[in-house]
């Protein structure tokens, strides 16, 4: 009796463990196939000038249309892609795709529309990273100044010589560099002085409560002022309400991004948005 009980609880324990690693393995092998099968797709979200609402650029946000899992959001697969190194080929695809799309938007609008691409730490530490970025610019014909790379404070935390060197190299090539999710990384601010960043993106957690919480309002105001004193541009993320745009305008925030303007949308919808927007301005 006791023996049987022991065995069954053991038997209960093991399948659960295997289930977890089985899921991971399955996800990994699906992800390996996904690039060849064209299952990744970029969505685009406009970044506008806060004072006029005019389009400035768009952030590329990856989606995975998996035949077995449906649409998978990046928070669900980017961490595993980083762990396995798959983020390197996926990231290269994102860069190529994003730069080519920016050239297409130029044709549609007759003006320059920049594109922002998220870069994760593993990608950044790949010794070929700079070459991959420059290749994407070269093959698309996009000038470096219209590409912005978004890097989180997490990456800057492992403050290595290589990080500094790569940032310097990319900056010298004319590529724009931004700090994503600014204010959430528990990082010292001194890196802003030594690294060639162009832009701070204020994390949406601060922007969201800017009208309800005095502390968030103070923080956002302080970040904008600090950024400007350092010669950096500021983008507010996660702008969802009109009243927030008034606050940001009043505080002199350069650019805004969020559901209030547009959700991230597929390529075709973004192009339609561009056509309408452009016509409205002309």
- Residues forming contacts to ligand C2E in the complex (CB under 6 A) are 45, 60-62, 73-75, 78, 87, 91, 94, 118-120, 150, 180-181, 204, 237-240, 258-259, 264
- Residue 180 found at the interface with Mg ion (CB under 5 A): yes
**Cβ contacts of 233 within 8 Å, gap of 6 or more:** 198, 199, 200, 227, 254, 255
Token readout for 56 is 């400035």
Beta strands in the chain, from DSSP E residues, in sequence order: 40-49, 55-66, 70-72, 114-118, 147-152, 176-182, 199-202, 233-236, 255-256, 265-266
Find out whether 134 and 166 touch, Cβ atoms under 8 Å.
Answer: no
- Pattern 34-73, binding to Mg ion, x per CB under 5 A? ----------------------------------------
Task: Pick between residue 6 and residue 113 the one whose CB is nearest to ligand C2E.
Answer: 113
How far is Cα 281 from Cα 53, in angstroms, rounded to an integer? 11
Residue 148 found at the interface with Mg ion (CB under 5 A):
no
Q: Is residue 123 at the binding interface for Mg ion, with CB under 5 A as the rule? A: no
- Out of 41, 82, 143, 171, point to the residue binding Mg ion (CB under 5 A): 171
Instruction: Tell me whether residue 153 or residue 181 sits nearer to ligand C2E (CB atom).
Output: 181
Closest to 140 in 3D by CA, of 115, 170, 108, 171: 115
236 binds, among ligand C2E, Mg ion, none (CB under 5 to 8 A by kind): none
Least distance between ligand C2E and beta carbon 16 (Å): 29
> Which among ligand C2E, Mg ion, none contacts residue 171 (Cβ within 5 to 8 A by kind)?
Mg ion
């Amino acid at each position: 009796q006791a023996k049987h009980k022991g065995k069954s609880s053991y038997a209960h324990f093991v399948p659960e463990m295997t289930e977890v690693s089985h899921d991971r393995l399955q996800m990994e092998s699906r992800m390996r196939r996904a690039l060849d099968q064209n299952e990744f797709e970029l969505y685009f979200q406009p970044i506008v000038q806060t004072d006029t609402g005019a389009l400035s650029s768009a952030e590329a946000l990856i989606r995975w249309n998996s035949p077995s899992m449906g649409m998978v959001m990046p928070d669900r697969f980017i961490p595993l892609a980083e762990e396995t190194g798959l983020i390197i080929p996926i990231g290269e695809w994102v860069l190529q795709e994003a730069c080519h799309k920016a050239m297409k938007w130029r044709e549609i609008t007759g003006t320059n529309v920049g594109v922002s691409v998220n870069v994760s730490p593993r990608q950044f530490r790949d010794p070929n990273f700079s070459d991959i970025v420059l290749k994407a610019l070269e093959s698309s014909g996009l000038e470096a100044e219209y590409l912005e790379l978004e890097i989180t404070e997490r990456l800057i935390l492992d403050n290595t010589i290589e990080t500094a060197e790569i940032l310097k190299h990319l900056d010298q090539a004319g590529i724009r560099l931004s700090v994503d999710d600014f204010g959430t990384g528990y990082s010292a601010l001194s890196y802003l002085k030594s690294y060639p960043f162009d832009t701070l993106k204020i994390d949406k957690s601060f922007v969201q409560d800017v009208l309800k919480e005095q502390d968030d309002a103070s923080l956002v105001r302080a970040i904008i002022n600090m950024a400007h004193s350092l010669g950096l541009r500021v983008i507010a993320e996660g702008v969802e309400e009109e009243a927030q745009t008034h606050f940001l305008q009043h505080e002199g925030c350069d650019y805004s991004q969020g559901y209030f303007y547009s959700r991230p949308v597929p390529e075709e919808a973004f192009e339609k948005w561009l056509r309408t927007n452009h016509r409205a301005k002309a």
